[in-house]
Amino acid sequence: MNSREYFIYHEDPQQLHIGTLPPHAYFIPFGKGQDSSQPRERSELFELLNGEWSFDFYPSIFDMPDNFLETAPKSVINVPANWELCGFGKPQYTNVRYPIPFDPPYVPDDNPVGVYRRKYFCKGDGMRKILVFEGVDSCIYLFVNGVFCGYSQVSHCTSEFDITELLHDGENEIAAAVLKYCDGTYLEDQDKWRMSGIFRDVYMLSRESEGIEDFTVRTLLNKDFSAAEISVEIKAERNCLVSLYSPDNVKLGERQGRQLSFNIENPVMWNAEKPQLYRLEIICGNEAVTELAGIRKISSENGTVKINGTAIKFRGVNRHDFYPDTGYYASEQQLKKDIELMKSLNVNAVRTSHYPNSPLFYQLCDKLGLYVIDEADLEAHGAVEAYNTYGWTNGYNGIAYTVNRSEFAKAIYDRHERLIKRDINRPCVVMWSLGNESGYSDAFRESAKRIKKLDDSRLIHYESSRYTLDGKGENELDVVSVMYPQVDYVKNYPVSEETAKGRPLVLCEYSHAMGNGPGDLADYWQEIYGNELVCGAFVWEWCDQGIAAGKTADGRVKYYYGGDFGEDVNDGSFCIDGLVYPDRRLHTGALEMKNVYRPVYVSAENAAEGRFIFENKLDFTAVSEDWLCEYKIRDKGKALYSGELRLDIPPHESRRVYIAEAAGLTGEHITIDFDFYYGGESRGFEQITLFRCRRGFEFKQNNSWRLTGSGKSITAERDGKRIEISKRTAQICSLISDGCELLREPCGINLFRAPIDNDMSVKGEWYKVFLDKLKPKVYSITAEGNRVRAELSMGYAVHEPAAHFMLEYSFGDDGVRIAMKAEIHNGMKYLPRLGMRFFFDKSVEKAEYLGYGPYESYIDKHSASAYGAYSCKAEEQHEDYIRPQENGSHCGCESVSLFRNNIKAVEFISDSDFSFSFLPFTQEELASKTHNYLLEEYDGNVFCIDYKMSGVGSSSCGPELLEKYRLNEKKLNFIFYLIF
């Protein structure tokens, strides 16, 4: 039998679903008498077909035999899964570019096919048998007992087949042929790993012939929110009995019919902070369905987004369905863990980038409390490359090339309709998103109008509407959405009323979290909170998309990114761009976000008098009896006072608080920390400086140092201490205390850092002038009295020196004062850092410091850290990013002491704040290795003291680093003291 003859739909955009049931709201029926509020697996009408399926893999559709259903299966595969993670084919990561030639609607002949087969035992119970696939990439041809049953595409949406007529009592065979590519691939060009297969749950539903086909739950509130109506519209051939229960499980009434409603006085409303849900029980014949309803109203009023009449801010993240070992498949436990982790980080909103998630995800968001921008399975980003292949003819507007093709109009609406009809009953969904980065066209305009007819209770979002090839605008969208704007754009929105049209602004992507970042979160949120027309922002993105690829000898997981599987077309490590590692360990960026998203902000009204302003940033929750605020007052990290506050601050309001112990304090560097806890869980902190004296280290000159200038160096000796300064480099090449050499190799002036991902736009300039290879040229070096003075430059080849320096070493009672006067080349855009690097012996292993800790901190990334006294070992300071880069620095430091065998060996002090790092890796090692598991530790520990380190920003995809965070001074002085 030639079963391949049915493979005629995957290159025909007008044939999207053959033999499938119409899309409808997600629900699972239970048998009458069962508790339909239980997990779906407990329904007697639900049979989960996950597990081991027989499997045949063909690298090309032309390798598949005509009678492929009659051949004996050669392999097995677990369902759900991506077949590339099961040893069949290779994963491919690409961001923008299509993985296939741009030749719609056609796809390559070398189109891999996976043929899945399993036995199904059918009981002769007279019930309809509905076979459900919740996610298949990219399309599916279904056969039952060798007979063609149907076809469907749209990877992240549900496909249902009524296979009743093809089954017989007893054993049957279900076969699904899944193609890697179809014409839908042109509309599924999302920034993610490209993988295939049956990747979500598969199950059989046993249904009555006159059961529920669909139902819609709507909630309507009156103007003052004192009364509500819950209406239920049921598509069925018989009347249904519907009962309504309150959030505290009190039965409020029951109605019979197919169009019915319940009126509720003083309703308990749903929001992400208090996700209160009413329960609807629907009985139709011998079937029972439970639906949870949230009473809430989403509106845009005078450019402000409101939930239940309250202006809100979405403190959001973008989330892909991705796990390092299961790929696209997410179990309910994994989904719940993600949501709970987000909530613990003060996230209140998620955008499902860039496709609908599992139906279970939304149910969990309803119960646990997250707002959702629900995004259609639609992205055609690669069109911009295809359109401009042979010349940049119409700029970025070329992104609309695919969606302007008339043959895709039907598919565009189909993807929108399937999203909305499946998730229409979910209270967590506050916006429908038409997709991502596809440009705009008449098909989108018409689809947006149809969406409003399907559901006018939510806002419509779509960022890519600004890019068109037809020159038309858009009037269909409810919000203005932008990606990665400058902070000033947020501050000044709306720049143009014509563009805004009275609509609110949402940053659907911002603060690109790739690698060591993001470094601009606090700046954005200062402006977001200050502009009532900005409803919030969503960090890109939640998780590093690294694929687990075995373990190292010491048991660490290796993570692969783009190109590691030998893909010709790939975008490297651009998928390693999350707030959390693949295994959900937190990046320091996640901790940064947590504290920026904190629910309570504190400012000093008058610190000298102990008066503070506490501001509740929550939208619906009072900071009251369930909250605890602990405060601690310290001077240079040493505790002075502590106490507890029980606050009573309504949402969106402020309170003045007087703390007597904070009034009138003087000292050296006095801070007060406010730590906030809800239900015993840390929700963030605020630190305020109460007093800081002008710093000045008392350095006493001492002429008892013996300076000798023989050979290649100048040596200074006194009381068992010895410093040797190279005449060739003018920098310290030996440091001996109590007869022990502390250095492994000479130190040096340092202007470079191992580029972070966010240095993407500037690192080329740094490498061009060889900042990573600079060598000193000493013009003069003299020793006189207790001083060594040198004039030198730092350069390498081709160009003028990057910088000129005057160095002065002055010797005193406790050590040496190092004064560095620098003049940076005028052509330099900005430096990554400027300071001095010391290569200490491995025995110098511990640091104690006064500065921002305990996490890595930078001038624009220290919201997660606080000024204080900290202790650490070098290996503990390394942040093990999957792609190695600069890490572990600490800004705002006053002093650092390094310990050798638990005895203080050397101390660094400066009269001005400085940055330092103390790591077991050199910057050369970090810059040269592509993966963390390839790193080799230095045989000592590397200490960098920096006058300043440029900020980290989020320029890997966002705007350039803010000017105020750049080290762009051309003349500077840096003085520090090396005490030993």
Q: Is 437 a catalytic residue?
A: yes
Mean pLDDT, residues 527-551: 97
**Cross-strand bridge partners of residue 743:** 840
Instruction: Kindly report the number of other CB atoms within 10 A of residue 495's CB atom.
Output: 10
Please tell me whether residues 658 and 723 are part of one structural domain.
Answer: no
CA distances from 180 to 8, 58, 100, 255 (A): 15, 11, 11, 48
The residue annotated as part of the active site, out of 160, 281, 437, 686, is 437
Enter the tokens of residue 199. 């990747």
- Both 527 and 674 in one domain: the answer is no
Give CA 38 to chain center in angstroms. 32
Nearest partner of 151 among 124, 177, 126, judged by Cα? 177
DSSP secondary structure letters along 502-567: T--EEEEEES---SS----HHHHHHHHHH-TTEEEEEES-SB--PEEEEE-TTSPEEEE-TTTT--
| Cis? peptide before 854, omega within 30° of 0 | yes
Q: Considering the chain, what is the average pLDDT of its residues?
A: 96
In a domain, 292, yes or no: no
Q: Tokens 């019919």 belong to which residue?
A: 257
Tell the burial category of 954 from Cβ atoms under 10 Å away from its Cβ (0-12, 13-18, 19+): buried
CATH of the domain at 175: 2.60.120.260
CA distances from 35 to 42, 276, 290, 362, 395 (A): 9, 20, 9, 21, 57
E strands within 60-138? 75-79, 92-94, 113-122, 128-133, 136-137
Question: What residues contact 969, with CB distance under 8 A and at least 6 apart?
Answer: 824
pLDDT of 862: 98
CATH number where 519 lies: 3.20.20.80
Where among 175, 207, 239 does a domain terminate?
A: 207
Residues 817 and 670 in one domain: no
Digit-coded pLDDT (tens) for 874-902: 999 999 999 999 999 999 999 999 999 99
| Confidence label for 660 from pLDDT (cuts 50, 70 and 90) | very high
Strands 371-375 and 429-433: parallel
* Model pLDDT, residue 391: 80
Which of 144, 173, 207 is a domain's end point? Answer: 207
Phi and psi angles of residue 306, each rounded to the nearest 5 degrees, phi first: -130, 145
Kindly report the CATH number assigned to the domain that includes residue 613. Answer: 2.60.40.10
* Helix residue ranges per DSSP H, 675-798: 763-768
pLDDT reading at 1 higher than 80: no
What value does the mean pLDDT take over residues 569-579? Answer: 97
For range 548-577, the mean pLDDT? 96
58 domain residue, yes or no: yes
Both tokens assigned to 833? 């850092």
Cα(115)–Cα(486) distance, rounded to whole angstroms? 49
Helix or strand (DSSP H, E) at 869: strand 866-873
| Eight-class DSSP state of 497 | H
Tell me which residue of 262, 210, 259, 265 sits closest to 238, measured CA to CA: 210
Residue 318: predicted pLDDT: 98
Tell me which residue range forms the domain holding 241. Answer: 214-285
pLDDT above 90 for 542: yes
Pairing mode of beta strands 669-678, 627-635: antiparallel
Q: Which helix (H) or strand (E) holds 777?
A: strand 775-784
Distance CA(135)–CA(439), nearest Å, equals 25
What is the rounded distance in angstroms from the CA atom of residue 875 to the CA atom of residue 297? Answer: 51
Strands in 236-341 per DSSP E: 240-245, 251-257, 259-265, 278-284, 287-293, 298-301, 304-307, 310-311, 314-319
Give the SS3 label for residue 24.
coil
CB–CB of 264/252 below 8 Å?
Answer: yes
- 692: helix, coil or strand? strand
Same domain, 727 and 810: yes
Residue 300 domain-assigned (yes or no): no
Question: What's at 758, amino acid-wise?
Answer: N
How many residues are present in the chain?
980
pLDDT of residue 363: 98
Position 619 pLDDT exceeds 90: yes
Say how many C-beta atoms besides its own lie within 10 A of residue 806's C-beta: 16
> Is the predicted pLDDT of residue 125 greater than 80, yes or no?
yes
Please state, in angstroms and as integers, the Cα–Cα distance from residue 332 to each residue in 325, 339, 443, following that order: 15, 11, 35
In a domain, 318, yes or no: no
Element holding 31 (H helix, E strand): strand 30-31
- Please tell me whether residues 603 and 584 are part of one structural domain: no
Give the whole-angstrom CA distance, residue 934 versus residue 881. 12
> 791 burial class (0-12, 13-18, 19+ CB within 10 angstroms)?
middle
Does residue 273 form part of some domain? Answer: yes
How would residue 110 be classed by pLDDT, with cut points 50, 70 and 90? very high
Least confident of 371-380, 491-500, 509-518, 776-785: 491-500
Under 8 Å CB-to-CB from 224, ≥6 apart: which residues? none
CATH number of the domain to which 929 belongs: 2.70.98.10
Q: pTM for the whole thing?
A: 0.96
The number of folded domains in the chain is 5
Closest to 662 measured CA to CA, from 683, 643, 677, 648:
643
Let me know whether 688 and 743 are in one domain. no
Question: 120 in the Ramachandran plot: left (φ > 0), alpha (ψ -120 to 50) or beta?
Answer: beta
Helical residues (DSSP H) of 786-943, grouped into ranges: 923-928
**pLDDT on residue 673:** 98
Terminal Cα distance for the chain, rounded: 87
Q: Which of 955, 819, 977 is nearest to 896 (CA)?
A: 977
pLDDT band at 711 (very low <50, low <70, confident <90, very high): confident
DSSP string, 190-249: -SEEE--EE-S-EEEEEE-TTS--EEEEEEEE-TTSSEEEEEEEEE-SS-EEEEEE-TTS
Residue 807 lies in a domain: yes
Q: Report the DSSP pairing between strands 287-293 and 278-284.
A: antiparallel
Q: Are 807 and 730 in contact (CB under 8 A)?
A: yes
Contact (CB, 8 A) for 937 and 842? no
Amino acid occupying residue 806 = M
Active site residue 886: no
Structure tokens given for 671: 């801070």
- With respect to residue 700, please indicate whether it lies within any of the assigned structural domains: no
- Residue 87: left if φ>0, alpha if ψ -120 to 50, beta else—which one? left
Segment 842-852 shows an average pLDDT of: 98
Q: Answer yes or no: is pLDDT of 346 > 70.
A: yes
How far apart CA 908 and CA 898 sit, in angstroms, is 8
609 and 586 within one domain: no
47 and 21 inside one domain: yes
Handedness of CA 131, 132, 137, 138 (dihedral sign): positive
The token duo for 947 is 């006058």
Catalytic residue among 417, 463, 509, 925: 509
Instruction: Give yes or no: residues 108 and 246 share one domain.
Output: no
Looking at residue 265, its amino acid is: E
CB count within 10 Å of CB 492 equals: 11
Residue 464's closest CA among 355, 371, 352, 380? 380
Q: Confidence class of residue 698 from pLDDT cuts 50, 70 and 90? A: confident
662/736 same-domain check? no
pLDDT, tens digit, for every residue of 193-216? 999 999 999 999 999 998 999 999
Q: What is the pLDDT of residues 55-99, one digit of tens each?
A: 999 999 999 999 999 999 999 999 999 999 999 999 999 999 999
Tell me whether residue 306 is in a domain.
Answer: no
Query: Which of 643, 670, 692 represents a domain boundary (last residue)?
Result: 692
Would you state the pLDDT for residue 695?
A: 82
The per-residue pLDDT for range 268-279, each reduced to its tens digit, is 999 999 999 999
Q: What is the mean pLDDT of residues 463-492?
A: 96
Co-location of 659 and 711 in the same domain: no
Judgement on whether residues 589 and 602 belong to the same structural domain of the protein: no
